[in-house]
Structure 1
Amino acid sequence: MWANRVRQPTTNILTLSRLVRARQPAISSWRRYASTNRGTSNDSNWFRNSLGFAGAGTATFLAYTYATTDSDKIGEEAKAKGLPKIKEDLGTQLVQKKRSLKSPGVYLWGTNAYRVVDPGSKESVIKTPRSLSYFDGQVLRDLKLEEKSGAAINEKGDLIQWGKGFSESDFKPTETLIGKNLTSLCMSSDRILALSSDSKVYSLPISKEDQQSGRKPKESSWVMPFLSGEAGVSYRQLQPNLGMTEKITAISGGSEHALLLTSSGRVFSVASSTESYPTFGQLGIPGLTWSTRPSGPVDTCHEITTLKGTKITQVAAGDYHSLALSKDGQVFAFGDNSFGQLGVEYNASAPFIDTPVLLPVSKLYRANEWAPTVTQIAAGGANSFFTVDAQRVLGRKEDASAVRDLGRITADTWTCGRGIWGLLGNGKWTHLQDEPTKVKALSGLSEFDESTQKVSPIRLRDISVGTTHAAAVMGNSTHIHSASTKALETNEDWGYDALWWGGNEHYQLGTGKRSNLARPTYINAPPAPEDKDKEEARLQIMPRHKGKAGKRTVNMEQRVECGRYVSGLYSAV
């Protein structure tokens, strides 16, 4: 288990900061001066000793001033005076902290055929994490990546788009939908859905040309509410049938559909692609097809009535299937099951299910001895993931005094779906996996919690699933007594463990190689340019901390994002 492994050096991919060792040439020079011109008289001895004491005191003051002055400034002064600059290597953990504090931003890798990873480069692939300079010094609210385009919501709540999918001639990041105070987004094959802070859901085309040529709604200004003008881009606002105080709290999207979660625990589904209508049951409405859809807009929101009476707390969408997690820890699945991604037996005569079905999680554990509760879900491509807290309970014929682990909780990660590229993470290359399989590298882990003097399970903090690959951020406590709101330089958090696995056909795993990985593994953060000859250290994800974004101090954290053949790491508010 990880708890028993020696932690490797950690680093990050942010700008390297260096310190210069406090030097002592001043002291030795003063000593040389004090030891010359020796005399025999008492006056000479007195003068020599006084001068020596004065020299030593001055040297001590200079050394102290040098050690407490900003190291970068000292280095610049030394360079200007032609003095040799003596460097001291920092511990890689400290380097990671300094980088995160000084350089928040966005780092991408994977396919660059459509100029998503590096808009200014003609390279077809970017093998290791590379900074997207437009976002240097910025923190984001959300980031989504597709093969042909990228989209982000900046700290102000404005939508930013880039890549060939956005523009065939201008690939660089550009603000599009602005002034809506957006909080999160999802992308279909040709449209973006964005959720605002006031619970509005906007749907707009990915293409810049379609945004400019399509119908632009009238808008009024909050400064001059009686005056209206045309919006800057074409968009539609989705209209789910909400209650008086009900709000949309989360959205998740696939290739042709999206799921909307409300504050009341209700779920709405909607067609989100202009090019094609969802036909694999992923909307969760029995019998709903293009020909049977009700009158009105194509992107009409449909409440999934089968889930009525069950409070849903999380939704997740793969390319053509959907997941919903209930408050009591149950998972409902619907949509395409061609690769077993719904976690139920594949039926060739009925390859998809258009009514939510309950995933049989209890069958994954020994009956009457474990009580499993699903705590998190994730989906992407043709795969589903869910994490489970399983508590050891007393069996029917068991004696409580003989059960040593009664009440113990183990945290496990399970998956199902397509595994031909290794995305199942179980070490096997399986084409179809319709029975959930455990990801052992992410399951059954624990650590000793000094604050409670108990062994606690290590859960997943986050998991992101792309079309053929995935990444998991572990929730291991890197330092028991740290506070998430403290400035990073004042606590001892060194970062969360991050692991990557699955398809690597476009170098999206960030290993620098093209081999697929069937088991979760660490990747390395490349060193700074001046440290190319040094051994690379393990990439870790920085916890929430206070850092500099421009001239401001911002409460931020790092997040990972896996898309279609592209991966990203970004600083988020």
Structure 2
Amino acid sequence: MHRHLLSTRRLLSTQRPPPPHSHPHQSSSQWTPFPSNVAATARPKSSPHKDFNPPSVERKRRIAAFAVAAILTGGLLGIAVANTETDAVAPVKEKGAIGISSVGWAQMDQVRSSRELLGVWIWGRDSRGQSQARFVEAFRDVPLRDLAIDAKSETNVAIDASGNLLLSWNDSSKPFSALAGANLTRVVLSNGGCLAFALSKTGEVFRIDLKKLKAHSANVENSAIQLAPQTSIVNMLGLGWLVGARGVGAAQDLGACQKVGFSTEAERITSISSGESHLLALSSSGKVYTAPTTIEGNKHGQLGGTNADPAQTTLSPVPTLKSVKTAQIAAGTAFNCIRTANGQVFTWGSNKFGQLGTGRKGYDIAHSDEPLEMQFNGKMGDDKKCTLIAAGGDTVIMTLESKESSEVFSVGMGQWGQLGTGNFIHMTNSPVKVATLSNLQEYSEKLSKVVPIRVDSITMGPTHVVAVLKDGSTNKFGKDVFVWGGNEKGQLGRVDGKKGNSAVPVWVAPVLRPIADQEAAAVEVQKEKKELTETEDDVASKPPVWEADGMGRLQVAGPGRAVTHHGGWTWTGWLLGSTMPQSVFVEQAFACADGVTALYSKVL
């Protein structure tokens, strides 16, 4: 049939057309030619209109206009992408699964170096958007139990290996030791960095006025502003409060430190988290407590229905959670999130950006003073439970795990890309999947099968997130780190060096040793004057000097032994009045705040 139609079209196209002067009703086969005695009229010369262009010219104009439009559009899109990277599925294109690649000996060198130089590295804050981290000299060779940072006041509040509170008002000043002998384990900040809350190993919570301590430290002689390892024997015996160790007495005399009231004597507090105006606490039996830290501590219902006095900091149990056993707590700016022992998630407080995860489509609530269960839209089940939560600003990040899979979800504000979904959206009131970090797998030589890659920890600031993956094979190569969200201060430390925000998880640039340490190590290399082959034994003897371009991405160290000259105690050191080198068990951990990220050596 098609062949017949084609031949017909060809036949019609070859027929002779009728003459130009034939009558419209006259058959084309009966037309009459001009008489032979009539001269043919001369055909006029072609003279097109002055505004008329031949088809070939018009075609060229259209092609040129299209090319110019394409170039302009591409340029505008390039500028937009340069400022906000949203199109990358994987952080860096390398072989392997999405977001995962092989590591080399140089990256293993990071792990070894982190145990040779204990301390704190910081991205953001006053670094003018630099992607490379800087070493904080104030905490050189200081392993920490915990670290809390504030961006605006440049305050660093830490707990050293002996449980003393250390305060540093900028990254170069020597830390001021306070609350010596209190044996602290955890510290958090509230009220814009003006207040600190510290948790002791015995379950006591202390409220610390940082403004008063800062004013006091400015008047103390430099000789008194020191790390005091000689008091560690007092710490060991738990007698710091009895003997009035330096720092404890000063804080009490100034009225800068007081115990937070606790209504139940039969329990002890095991974990604390803080918002801008409230404190969240977890007891040894799994009970949840809240307390106001300012007069606005219950403005959005963040106290959970308690009748606490906003003008007094006293921990009170959340009434509706008395029969719930809680395993983990996390506080955002004005809301709370908890994970129960059986893997459920409950939230309460402000819901301005849908961070409570109610999942309501037609309408929603502004806040709730009663804990509400997070709605995962059927993603939860007998074989899938929530195993990790984190809160920051107005966003929540969670992991849902089963025996065969691990997924990451987010809910709440996403204006800076902190939802990690690849889109900069204002908010979402239902959990959405972070695809880059979900359903990742690796082959386990130990188990001889493919196993899921799970998330080890999540740390959040108000606008950005840091996630560390578990290393299922060995501690030699460290753990992968991913960041996403706001990068206005350079807090992401992106491996690609870009300063824009990221709505997808990307890798972090590796930290470098301070210049002086690099130069000293380079001298040692010159002394050795020998070639090292790329074997495991030789790498162990290499000095930790490298360039960021040759290091790939950041690999943080898991648990391992390190040597320090600070903190702890030894009988010899105490008797001689000096600090002796000692071995500590540490790993690297993160702390986040508004526009700043810190990596520190955490004592285990």
TM-score, length-scaled by structure 1: 0.70
Cα deviation, residue 350, structure 1: 3.6
CA RMSD, 1 decimal: 2.9
Partner of 1:154: 160
Q: 1:461 to 1:533 in 2, by over 3 A?
A: closer
Partner of 1:59: none
Q: Tell me the distance in 2 between the aligned counterparts of 1:152 and 1:271.
A: 23
Asked if 1:134 is matched to 2:138, the reply is yes
The one-letter amino acid of 1:518's match is A
Q: 1:224 to 1:375 in 2, by over 3 A?
A: closer
For residues 185-200 of structure 1, the aligned pairs below 5 Å read 185-189=187-191, 190-200=194-204
Q: Tell me the distance in 1 between the aligned counterparts of 2:458 and 2:249.
A: 42
Partner of 1:27: none
Match of 1:472 among 463, 467, 470: 467
The one-letter amino acid of 1:150's match is N
Q: Tell me the distance in 2 between the aligned counterparts of 1:383 and 1:221.
A: 39
Contact (CA 8 Å) 2:375, 2:430: kept in 1 or not? no
Asked if 1:568 is matched to 2:588, the reply is no
Q: Tell me the distance in 2 between the aligned counterparts of 1:211 and 1:364.
A: 52
Partner of 2:178: 176
Asked if 1:284 is matched to 2:269, the reply is no
Cα deviation, residue 229, structure 1: 6.4
Q: Secondary structure at the match of 1:517?
A: strand
Q: Tell me the distance in 2 between the aligned counterparts of 1:523 and 1:229.
A: 42
Contact (CA 8 Å) 1:545, 1:555: kept in 2 or not? yes
Deviates more, 1:258-267 or 1:346-355: 346-355
Q: Secondary structure at the match of 1:510?
A: coil
Asked if 1:545 is matched to 2:560, the reply is yes
Q: 1:186 to 1:534 in 2, by over 3 A?
A: closer
Q: Tell me the distance in 2 between the aligned counterparts of 1:505 and 1:259.
A: 29
Q: Secondary structure at the match of 2:112?
A: helix
Contact (CA 8 Å) 1:211, 1:235: kept in 2 or not? no
For residues 388-407 of structure 1, the aligned pairs below 5 Å read 388-390=400-402
Q: Tell me the distance in 1 between the aligned counterparts of 2:339 and 2:564.
A: 35
Partner of 2:33: none
Partner of 2:275: 254
Q: 1:229 to 1:323 in 2, by over 3 A?
A: closer
Q: Tell me the distance in 1 between the aligned counterparts of 2:371 and 2:453.
A: 30
Match of 1:524 among 509, 520, 530: 509
Answer 1 or 2: higher relative contact order, Cα 8 Å, separation at least 6. 2
Q: Deviations over 1:33-76 (max 9, x none)?
A: xxxxxxxxxxxxxxxxxxxxxxxxxxxxxxxxxxxxxxxxxxxx
Partner of 1:202: 206
Contact (CA 8 Å) 2:133, 2:512: kept in 1 or not? no
Cα deviation, residue 249, structure 1: 0.5
Cα deviation, residue 564, structure 1: 1.3
Partner of 1:555: 585
Deviates more, 1:200-209 or 1:187-196: 200-209
Q: Tell me the distance in 2 between the aligned counterparts of 1:220 and 1:363.
A: 52
Asked if 1:443 is matched to 2:438, the reply is yes
Asked if 1:338 is matched to 2:360, the reply is no
Asked if 1:502 is matched to 2:485, the reply is yes
Q: Secondary structure at the match of 2:405?
A: strand
Partner of 2:31: none
Cα deviation, residue 101, structure 1: 2.6
Contact (CA 8 Å) 1:202, 1:237: kept in 2 or not? yes
Q: Secondary structure at the match of 2:554?
A: strand
The one-letter amino acid of 2:280's match is L
Contact (CA 8 Å) 1:362, 1:372: kept in 2 or not? no
Q: Secondary structure at the match of 1:128?
A: coil
Q: Tell me the distance in 2 between the aligned counterparts of 1:571 and 1:460.
A: 19
The one-letter amino acid of 1:111's match is R
Asked if 1:386 is matched to 2:406, the reply is no
Q: Deviations over 1:499-537 (max 9, x none)?
A: 011000111111243200000010111555565585342
Asked if 1:354 is matched to 2:369, the reply is yes
Cα deviation, residue 300, structure 1: 2.0
Partner of 1:238: 260
Asked if 1:7 is matched to 2:9, the reply is no
Q: 1:533 to 1:470 in 2, by over 3 A?
A: closer
Cα deviation, residue 174, structure 1: 2.0
Partner of 2:451: 456
Q: Secondary structure at the match of 2:384?
A: strand
Contact (CA 8 Å) 2:129, 2:488: kept in 1 or not? no
Query: Percent sequence identity over matched residues?
Result: 31
Q: 1:448 to 1:536 in 2, by over 3 A?
A: closer
Q: Tell me the distance in 2 between the aligned counterparts of 1:207 and 1:272.
A: 15
Q: Tell me the distance in 1 between the aligned counterparts of 2:488 and 2:174.
A: 25
Q: Tell me the distance in 2 between the aligned counterparts of 1:467 and 1:222.
A: 40
Q: Secondary structure at the match of 1:360?
A: coil
Q: Secondary structure at the match of 1:379?
A: strand
Cα deviation, residue 92, structure 1: 0.6
Cα deviation, residue 269, structure 1: 0.2
For residues 282-431 of structure 1, the aligned pairs below 5 Å read 282-285=302-305, 293-294=308-309, 298-345=312-359, 350-361=365-376, 363-364=378-379, 371-390=383-402, 409-431=404-426
Q: Tell me the distance in 2 between the aligned counterparts of 1:9 and 1:364.
A: 33
Q: Tell me the distance in 1 between the aligned counterparts of 2:384 and 2:297.
A: 37
Q: Deviations over 1:132-156 (max 9, x none)?
A: 0121111100011221222111111
Q: Secondary structure at the match of 1:222?
A: helix
The one-letter amino acid of 1:373's match is K
The one-letter amino acid of 1:109's match is W
Contact (CA 8 Å) 2:111, 2:477: kept in 1 or not? yes
Q: Tell me the distance in 1 between the aligned counterparts of 2:377 and 2:343.
A: 11
Q: 1:358 to 1:130 in 2, by over 3 A?
A: same
The one-letter amino acid of 2:303's match is L
Structure 2 residue ranges without an equivalent (≥5): 1-89, 218-238, 519-545, 566-580
Partner of 2:87: none
Q: Secondary structure at the match of 2:110?
A: helix
Q: Tell me the distance in 2 between the aligned counterparts of 1:522 and 1:327.
A: 32
TM-score, length-scaled by structure 2: 0.66
Cα deviation, residue 445, structure 1: 1.3
Cα deviation, residue 125, structure 1: 5.3
Q: Which has the higher strand share?
A: 1
Q: 1:229 to 1:467 in 2, by over 3 A?
A: closer
Q: Tell me the distance in 2 between the aligned counterparts of 1:518 and 1:338.
A: 21
Q: Secondary structure at the match of 2:385?
A: strand
Contact (CA 8 Å) 2:157, 2:165: kept in 1 or not? yes
Q: 1:200 to 1:211 in 2, by over 3 A?
A: farther
Corresponding pairs, count: 432
Asked if 1:222 is matched to 2:257, the reply is no
Partner of 1:271: 292
